Structures are given as C-alpha cells and as structure tokens.
C-alpha cells in the first residue's frame, strides 16, 4: 500500500511540487497524482504576449512528466471534502472521486473583477489562456486609431499596456491607474517607466478610480469617462471558490491559510501553495500572488511533505523577494531590486538588458517546472512505517 499524494493544479507551483515530490520519495512508497484541467502547461507570465499575437512554446505535460513517476490526471476539480479526504472531479468519462492521504492544493487564480459593474460583460482579461486568446482575437480586429484602455497600474497592467502599444503602434493605448504611475517603484524605476510609457505613446490616467465598464467606455468616479473600444482588466487576481466551500481555514478572499511549511493551519494533511495559499514571507508580510512566491512555496511544501513522511528534518526554502522583473514590451524592461519583504531599493536595471533578463527569468521559470530540484542530483528516501494511509501501514522502510 502506498501513500497517496494528490496535487491539484499543474501551474507553476503544483507542477513543481509534484515533480519535486517524485524526486524526493521512493516510487514504491508513494502514488503521486497531478490533477489538471488542461493537457499542457500554461505559462501565465506570458499571457500578454499571447494576447498580442505571439506564439508560445507548447509544453505538454505528457512529455514533461514522462518517466518521473507522477501520474497526470486530466480532469476538472469541482470540490474537495477535507473530512473524508476526497476530491470530486469531472473528466471525459463523467464525474468521479479521488481519495488522498496528503493533498497539495495549487489551483491558482483567475482575474479579479472586484465587483465593478459591467466588467464581466464588457472587459477582457489576460489572467487565463482562454482570456488571453479572446483578447488576441479582438485586438486583431481593431483598426488604426482605435482605443484600448488597460485598467490597473500594477505589474500585469504595465506589462499588458506596453506589450500592446509596442506590438500595435497604430492603436491608441491608455492606462488607468488608481494611484501614480509605478508609485511603489524607486525614483529611478519610476523615471524609466515614464520614459518608456511616453515613448510608446501610452496615455496615462493617474488617480483614476474606475467605477464601471460599459460598451465603448470606462466610467470613472465623479461622472468622467474614458472612451474605449477594448477594455483590458488587470486589477489583481482572485482565487477559485473551491477552497472557500470546504472546512479549510481560508482568508476573507478565499486563500488557504498555511504555516511556514505550507501546511493548512486547520487540516494537517492538506498543503496549499501558489496563488491559492496565504503564507507569510519575510517581515511577516503576506506573500503576493506571483510565480516569484509560488516557486519557493512549492519547494517548501514538497520538502516538508517528504521530510515528514521519511522522518527527516524539514528544510527551509527562502521565502523572500529579490527583484521585480517587469517587461515593457519585447525591447524594454525594468528590473526593480527589492528588499526581502518586497520594498523597492534604489538599484534598477533598465533597457534592452532588462528585457533580456526578464526573458531569461520567464524561460527559467518554465525550466524550473521541468527541473523541480534545479537539476541537482537527489536521493529518493523511503517512507517510514509510522506513516499510515487510511489506517493501513505504508510498506517499506529505509
Ligand atoms: C500576464 C501575467 C503576467 C505575469 N507576470 C508575472 C511575473 O512576471 N512574475 C511573477 O512572479 N508572476 C507573474 N504573474 C503571476 C503568475 O503567473 C501567477 O502568480 C502564477 O501563475 C501562480 O501560480 P499557481 O501555480 O498558483 O497557479 P497557476 O499558474 O494559475 O496554475 C493553476 C493550475 O490549476 C489549473 N486549474 C485551475 N482550476 C482548476 C480546476 N478546477 N480543475 C483542474 N485544474 C484547475 C489551471 O489549469 C492551472 O494549470 C503574471 C500573471 C499574468 C496573468
């Protein structure tokens, strides 16, 4: 009898966790199942590239996990019962149920309309591949001079607006930010951002509180409006409602609350990682939804699970930040160095070199999914006899 580990979601964090668990644990002792709705890995960090007509490298999971010992199950997760330790799924054969001994929840996130009226009906999103493809198709149909308004002045909004303006210089691109443009960046970072945004001809609406999206315009507070043939909504991410419907302890936004090992604080056989989890980072500040957080969270969860199952000391993954890497189109970029708790410091890297740096970071993130132990040789450890699965002892001891 082997210990059943189910990983839900094969995005950056889930795919890394599954692959790393397979590298750390002996194949005869564990059955690792990775459940994902789609058959290939989606590089979410490149969705603005996909939306502007660029083609991304296909990354089928069947190739990525061939020979690793991870079993891929193509299915949509519809619910989790943490009391009975089951996951409800729907696949091509209909509804089914999977049982686990340890669950890793990594279902990621989607766009966040923040309840602003008209957003779901009239705005486009690029937090998901279907959303990015829909936007791609719409942008392709726009004619010269037509207006695209990107709502949201955060990292995704900056990347989206600059990518669209660079790819389609014939369009009239605007960015609506709640505060000042790049107000969290260092003075050097802000200066560079303004320079690039100006060169690309992007109109910036600062202190713009968007109160609604309508066909053909974005409504602002105090009755003003920005005309928009296409509105792109990028005001942060929201998690899927599955965790909130369970008995797991979640935040008000539905993210699973975890300890420093990524283990649920309410259910010790559940781990959560990536955007779906609420974990504390350096300075006791919550980690933000990002690949930059999701990757070390995945390392930490996989190593903690493996350590607990094999009776070893739990190693600590570095959960601090180092830089924010922002693409500003394909030819420009901004690398803003930060403290471990994500506050901008003076140093920045700009220009073509920064664009190349960011490209390498994106490539590295995808490489990291296929090489979850960073290519380092590892020894698979045996699960100890004390670890029980549904009342049955796991066979084999080191
Ligand atoms: C345009 C854009 C640019 C970004 N740029 C950066 C960046 O430069 N740096 C950075 O750090 N972060 C960036 N991010 C954020 C980053 O992409 C996310 O934080 C990251 O993808 C989260 O990883 P995850 O593993 O938690 O979830 P995801 O990558 O979202 O993966 C979740 C997986 O779960 C699957 N799934 C979801 N629901 C179900 C279900 N019900 N059943 C089965 N499977 C399901 C999905 O198909 C997916 O494979 C960017 C995001 C976007 C949209």
Is the shortest distance between the CB of 296 and ligand 1 below 6 Å? Answer: no
- Cα 318 to Cα 309: distance, rounded to the nearest angstrom: 22
Domains in the chain, CATH or no CATH each: 3-108+240-320+374-390 (3.50.50.60), 113-233 (3.50.50.60)
Query: φ, ψ for residue 61 (rounded to 5)?
Result: -65, -35
Question: pLDDT tens per residue, the chain (398 residues)?
Answer: 799 999 999 999 999 999 999 999 999 999 999 999 999 999 999 999 999 999 999 999 999 999 999 999 999 999 999 999 999 999 999 999 999 999 999 999 999 999 999 999 999 999 999 999 999 999 999 999 999 999 999 999 999 999 999 999 999 999 999 999 999 999 999 999 999 999 999 999 999 999 999 999 999 998 899 999 999 999 999 999 999 999 999 999 999 999 999 999 999 999 999 999 999 999 999 999 999 999 999 999 999 999 999 999 999 988 999 999 999 999 999 999 999 999 999 999 999 999 999 999 999 999 988 888 777 777 788 888 666 454 343 333 22
Give the residue, out of 12, 44, 154, with the most ligand 1 atoms within 8 A of its beta carbon, to mutate for a pocket test.
44
CA of 394 to the centre of ligand 1 (A): 34
Give the count of beta carbons closer than 10 Å to the beta carbon of residue 334. 28
pLDDT at 380: 81
Is the shortest distance between the CB of 42 and ligand 1 below 6 Å? Answer: yes
Give the residue, out of 17, 56, 275, with the most ligand 1 atoms within 8 A of its beta carbon, to mutate for a pocket test.
275
Is the shortest distance between the CB of 11 and ligand 1 below 6 Å? Answer: yes
- Cα 198 to Cα 194: distance, rounded to the nearest angstrom: 6
Contact 160, 79 (CB under 8 A): no
pLDDT at 373: 77
| For ligand 1, atom 37: residue with the closest CA | 107
CA of 330 to the centre of ligand 1 (A): 21
pLDDT at 214: 96
Q: Which residue has the tokens 């990518």?
A: 163
pLDDT at 1: 73
CA of 274 to the centre of ligand 1 (A): 8
Contact 9, 33 (CB under 8 A): no
Instruction: Convert 296-349 into a string of H (helix), E (strand) and C (coil).
Output: HHHHHHHHHHHHHHHCCCCCCCCCCCCEEEEECCCCCEEEEEECCCCCEEEEEE
Residues paired with residue 349 on neighbouring β-strands, in sequence order = 335
CA of 31 to the centre of ligand 1 (A): 25
Six-digit token pair at 252? 């008000």
DSSP letters, 158-211, are HHHHHHHHHH-TTSEEEEE-SSSTTTTS-HHHHHHHHHHHHHTT-EEETT--EE
Is the shortest distance between the CB of 7 and ligand 1 below 6 Å? Answer: no
- Cα 363 to Cα 191: distance, rounded to the nearest angstrom: 27
Shortest-distance atom of ligand 1 to CA 11: 31
pLDDT at 386: 64
């Amino acid at each position: 009898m082997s210990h059943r580990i189910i990983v839900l979601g094969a995005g950056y964090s889930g795919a890394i966790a599954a692959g790393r668990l397979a590298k750390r644990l002996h194949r005869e002792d564990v059955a690792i199942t990775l459940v994902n709705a789609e058959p290939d890995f989606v590089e979410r960090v490149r969705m603005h590239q996909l939306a502007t007509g660029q083609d991304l490298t296909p990354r089928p999971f069947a190739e990525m996990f061939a020979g690793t010992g991870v079993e891929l199950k193509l299915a949509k997760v519809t619910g989790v019962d943490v009391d009975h330790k089951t996951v409800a799924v729907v696949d091509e054969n209909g509804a089914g149920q999977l049982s686990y001994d340890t669950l890793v929840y990594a279902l990621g996130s989607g766009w966040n309309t923040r309840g602003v009226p008209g957003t779901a009906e009239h705005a486009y999103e690029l937090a998901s591949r279907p959303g990015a493809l829909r936007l791609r198709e719409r942008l392709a149909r726009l004619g010269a001079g037509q207006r695209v308004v990107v709502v949201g002045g955060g990292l995704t909004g900056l990347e989206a607006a600059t990518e669209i303006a660079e790819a389609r210089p014939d369009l009239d691109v605007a960015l609506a930010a709640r505060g000042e443009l790049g107000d969290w960046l260092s003075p050097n970072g802000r200066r560079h951002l303004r320079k690039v945004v100006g060169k690309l001809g992007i109109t910036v609406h600062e202190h713009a509180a968007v109160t609604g999206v309508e066909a053909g315009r974005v409504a602002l507070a105090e009755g003003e409006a920005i005309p928009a043939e296409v509105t792109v909504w990028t005001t942060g991410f929201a998690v899927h409602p599955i965790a909130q419907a369970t008995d797991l302890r979640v935040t008000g936004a539905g993210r699973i609350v975890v300890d420093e090992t990524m283990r649920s604080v309410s259910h010790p056989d559940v781990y959560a990682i990536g955007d779906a989890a609420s974990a504390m980072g350096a300075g006791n500040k919550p980690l933000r939804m990002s690949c930059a957080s999701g990757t070390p969270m995945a390392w930490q969860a996989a190593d903690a699970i493996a350590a607990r199952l094999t009776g070893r000391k739990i190693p600590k993954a570095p959960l601090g930040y180092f830089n924010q890497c922002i693409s500003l189109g394909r030819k420009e970029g901004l690398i803003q160095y930060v403290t471990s708790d994500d506050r901008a410091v003076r140093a920045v890297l700009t220009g073509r070199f920064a664009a190349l740096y960011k490209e390498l970071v994106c490539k590295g993130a995808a490489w990291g999914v296929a090489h979850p132990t960073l290519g380092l040789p590892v020894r698979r450890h045996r699960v100890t006899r004390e670890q029980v699965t549904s009342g049955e002892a796991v066979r084999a001891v080191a």
